[in-house]
Amino acid sequence: MIMNEILINAIELLQKQFPQNSKSSLQKWIKHGRIYYLGRVVKRANQPVSSSGELTLNKKEIQRFSFPVLFEDDDLIVVNKPAQLLSVASLDPDERSVHEYLKKEFKPQKIYPVHRLDREVCGPLIFAKTKRASDALKEAFFERCVKREYKAIVEGLLQPSEGTWESYLEEKANYKVHVTKDQGKHAVTHYTVLDQNKAASLIALTLDTGRKNQLRVHSQQSGHSIVGDVKYGSSFERGAKFALMAHKLDFKHPFTEQELTFEVEPPPFFKKLLHEFKLKF
C-alpha cells in the first residue's frame, strides 16, 4: 500500500464513479457481488479502498434467461435482447418474453416496455422501472430524440449506395405488413451501404418512424429483401433467423441528461452470414 494513501469506504467511491445511481442501487450491486476492487469482489459497503482507486462493475447477466443488462439505474434498464425471444408477451401462454423475465427478476417492482424489437431481431432494448421514466422515454421516441441504428445483410447489389425509403404501411389480416399508396401509417427509413458484392450488401439503417416490420417491408419494396427473411421475399432460407440486428441505441437519460450510447457486437449467426457473403462489418 502506498504511504499516505487516503482510504474511504467502497460505497463512497462507488458514488463518485456512478453518480447517476442511487445509494440503494449501489448497495445492491455490492450485495450481489457485482463490484470488484483490484480483481477481488467487494463484500461490504464499508470495505476500505483507495480514494484514488477504481471499482469495476461486472456487467450483470440474468442467468435464468442469459441476456446481459447493458445499463441499469433507478429509472430504466437496457438489455441486449437475443434473437428468437419476444420483447413483450404474446397471446400464447407458452411464449417467453424479455418483459416477462424482467418482471420476475424485479418483482414486485413494475417494469414498463418502452419500445420493441421483432422476435427475430437482437440488440439493445429499453425498459422503464418507473411510470415517469416510461412517459419521458416514450415522449423521447415520439419526438425522435432516440437514435436507432440497425445493420442488415440484404440480397444483391444495392444502388444507389445511400438513400431513403418512404411509404405507408398497413397490417393485413394475415399479420403481414404491406405497402399502400396512402393508407396506413407513414414510415421513413434511411439506409447506407457499408460493404457489398453481387450476392449481398451490408447496410446500416436508421429510423424516422418505428412501424411494425418497417425495415423488413422497406427492404423488400426496394427489391433487396433481408437475407433469410422468407416472410418478406428472401430467396435464402435461413431457418428461424434472418440477417437483421439492432446495432446501436443513442439517447439522453430523461432525468440525469447523461448521454447514453449502447453498441453491440453481431451475434454468431450474423457473423457467419458475413463470412459466407464475404462482407466486412
- What are 186-204's pLDDT values in tens digits? 999 999 999 999 999 999 9
- Give the sign of the dihedral formed by CA 49, CA 51, CA 53, CA 58: positive
R_g of the chain, CA atoms, integer Å: 22
**Residue 246 in this model has a pLDDT that exceeds 60:** yes
pLDDT: which is higher, 71 or 238: 71
pTM score: 0.77
Q: Minimum mean pLDDT among 28-32, 48-52, 79-83, 139-143: which range?
A: 28-32
Cα(66)–Cα(247) distance, integer angstroms? 19
Is 32 within 8 Å of 57 (Cβ atoms)?
Answer: no
N residues, the chain: 281
Least confident span in 102-111, 125-134, 217-226: 102-111
Residue 250: half-sphere exposure toward Cβ, Cα within 13 Å: 9
pLDDT digits (tens, 9 = 90+) for 33-75: 888 888 888 989 999 998 888 888 876 555 555 688 899 999 9
For 5-14, 53-62, 82-91, 200-209, which range has the lowest pLDDT when averaged over its residues?
Answer: 53-62
Residue 4: pLDDT band (50, 70, 90) is: low
Q: Name residue 77's beta-bridge partners.
A: 72, 127
The per-residue pLDDT for 197 is 96
Residue 181, all three cell numbers? 399508396
What percent of the chain shows pLDDT beyond 90? 61
Q: So what's the pLDDT on residue 1?
A: 47
HSE-CB of 50 using CA atoms within 13 angstroms: 10
Q: What is the pLDDT of residue 94?
A: 66
Question: What average pLDDT does the chain have?
Answer: 89
Catalytic residues: 118
Q: What per-residue confidence (pLDDT) applies to 60?
A: 58
**Angstrom distance (rounded) from CA 252 to CA 125:** 15
Instruction: Give the pLDDT confidence score for residue 20 in this predicted structure.
Output: 73
pLDDT, tens only, 149-191: 999 999 999 999 999 999 999 988 777 899 988 788 999 999 9
Across the range 226-239, mean pLDDT stands at 88
